[in-house]
Amino acid sequence: MAWWSKLLSTTTYTNDPMKYLIAGLGNVGAEYEHTRHNIGFDIVDHLAKSNGAMWKLDSQAYVTEIKHKGRTLVLIKPTTYMNLSGKAIHYWMQKHKIPKENLLVVVDDLNLEFGLLRMRDTGSDGGHNGLKNIQQVLGGADYPRLRIGIGNKFHKNQQVDFVLGKWNADEKELLKTTIEKAANACLSFAAIGLKFTMNQFNGKG
């Protein structure tokens, strides 16, 4: 075996502490665009647009990258549909050697008042199928997530229609501010870390 082959075979590749994976959850397809369930997509779209980044379709996700304060943020919108989000997230973590603590999942939350933000380093899936799958694939719930409140103002047995529905007129007026704050929370997570970002943004609407 040549010396360089031996070197390659014994090289240990470590995680990159300056790389972050920001995964906005949602469903692909025109019928799901800008629905409550897709707010994760809308937030990473805002990050990409604000930084002049263009999306490309790659393995299991739309992907792009932005830079912020010396960090590289890999943004993804999984194309696996919500219930298999973990598959895409795991793939891109492996591809870019991103440690679990540098993953941030951006997701809608029925249990939070519309517009409120809540970042945590762990927690239950709260009945959210996307989070449930991520927990299964990653082998635990100890990964950072940013929950975006979408409220729960729906009648009995109307939860699915509400979640997959479009924003109403009142919500649309506040939505831009919510998306901007959530996008800033993502940048803050990469720049100053989870704890300081939680103090700055949690409960903010």
Q: Where are the domains of the chain?
A: 17-201
Residue 67's pLDDT is 97
β-bridge pairing 19-24 and 71-78? parallel
Residue 160's pLDDT is 86
The amino acid sitting at 144 is P
Q: Give CA angle at 66 (190, 181), nearest 5°.
A: 55
Q: Which of 172, 105, 161, 115 is nearest to 135 (CA)?
A: 105
* CATH fold for domain 17-201: Rossmann fold (3.40.50)
Residue 3's pLDDT is 44
Q: Which of 129, 88, 133 is nearest to 110 (CA)?
A: 129
One-character DSSP codes across 26-76: ---SGGGTTBGGGHHHHHHHHHHHHTT---EEETTEEEEEEEETTEEEEEE
For residues 80 and 186, what is the distance between their CA atoms, to the nearest angstrom? Answer: 22
Q: Which of 20, 25, 35, 5 is nearest to 150 (CA)?
A: 35
- Chunked into runs of 10 residues, the chain (205 residues) has average pLDDT values of 41 72 97 96 98 97 97 97 95 96 96 95 90 95 96 83 92 95 98 96 80
Q: Mark residue 49 as left, alpha or beta (left: phi above 0; alpha: psi -120 to 50; beta: remaining).
A: alpha
For residues 55 and 65, what is the distance between their CA atoms, to the nearest angstrom? Answer: 9
For residues 179 and 173, what is the distance between their CA atoms, to the nearest angstrom? Answer: 11
Residue 6's pLDDT is 44
Residue 120's pLDDT is 96
Q: What are the residue numbers of the active site?
A: 37
Hey, what are 135's tokens?
């927990």
Residue 165's pLDDT is 94
